[in-house]
Amino acid sequence: MILKKMRIRQFRNYEDQTLMFDQGIQYITGRNAQGKTNLLEAILYLSTTRSHRVNDDAELIKESRDFFLINGTLEKGNRSIELRIHVSKEGKNLFIYKSPIRKVSDFVGTCNAVMFCPDDLTLFQAAPRVRRRFIDMELSKMSKTYMNALTKANRLLKERNAALKLESINQEYVKVIDDQFLDLQVLIMKQRKKFLDELMSCGKNFYEDISQDLSDLAYTYVSAVPYEEDENAVKQSLRKKYEKNWTRDCMMKQTMIGFHKDDVIFTINGKEMSVYASQGQKRSALLALKLGIVFMNKEVTGEYPILLLDDVFSELDEYRRKKLLEVLPSEVQIFITATDRYSIPEECGKKITDWYVEHGTVKKGAENYGSK
């Protein structure tokens, strides 16, 4: 998959710009606060229909403007796919080949992009919601079944919480919600476990290659009930937990256990990575997980995703930068942003196109002020 053409209009600090991209590495330099990250954010938005930095789309609209527009032309094999997203204060409109798309799940993942940015380095020690979002975002791009289940489960969660907030709570009505709600939760738990099993299996190999460290990486999925192969048994265990937790839910006016409270604890040699891993181990582990996602996408969709590396070269030493580019096939289109133009070894075998960003304008070519 290649992003061949992109138009950004009134997005962040961009007024209106159309860019033509090549295969290989798009190396984007520029001083801080010029628009490098905004460019990658726009590409990721084209993939997920949401920002990885803010929750309110209104914050993405350029100051004093009423809307933003992102157009993208993808090359998938012999096919060319045109995408468009128009966001205003009235709402969000999605289009494929100029045809309106009603369901977000029919749009997400058409442009498949994987982001790695400095904020990701907090994944291991961040709040559980950050790890859930990481899993949900990556898995949703690969599985429409998962995304649809997640969307329905979130809708039922809102309905359940609304019922719990009423002065007179109808327990029978909540039980009707729970019948479908619990089925969806079992599916979500199953898909998350499968995703994590495959990710860790793939990520371990990359970790050893990148870090030359043979430490054992693993994870523990933390849920209200333990997962087992018998899905009906998991559902019944969840139902009993919900019945036991009923009084607490009523008192707190919200659902206190479930898929929206689950967590993942990553470990190294059996110990929590957030506490015992060094900064170097955390960087290598996260990089390995991101690479694992790139290759999992290829397995699931048949296409490599676009890889977005936002200001992470400064976080990696020369050896890790080299290994990162060596393990990625030439078919992977890579966008790199940095304040400095780090050298890329010729043996990485990838075409490099330089870009320079200044005041929300992107130009082809590199400035030499920060070459390394």
Q: What residues are designated binding site?
A: 30-37
Bind-site residues for ATP: 30-37
Instruction: Report yes or no: 40 and 335 within 8 Å, Cβ to Cβ.
Output: yes
Of the CA atoms within 13 Å of residue 9, those in its CB half-sphere come to 13
Rounded to a whole number, what is the distance in angstroms from the first to the last CA of the chain? 30
Q: H helices within the chain, ranges in order?
A: 36-48, 128-142, 144-164, 171-211, 231-244, 246-252, 273-276, 279-301, 318-327
284: exposed, middle or buried (Cβ count in 10 Å: 0-12, 13-18, 19+) = buried
Contacts of 276 (CB under 8 A, 6+ apart): 268, 269
φ/ψ region of 327 (left if φ > 0, alpha if ψ in -120 to 50, else beta) reads alpha
What is the SS3 assignment for 346?
Answer: helix
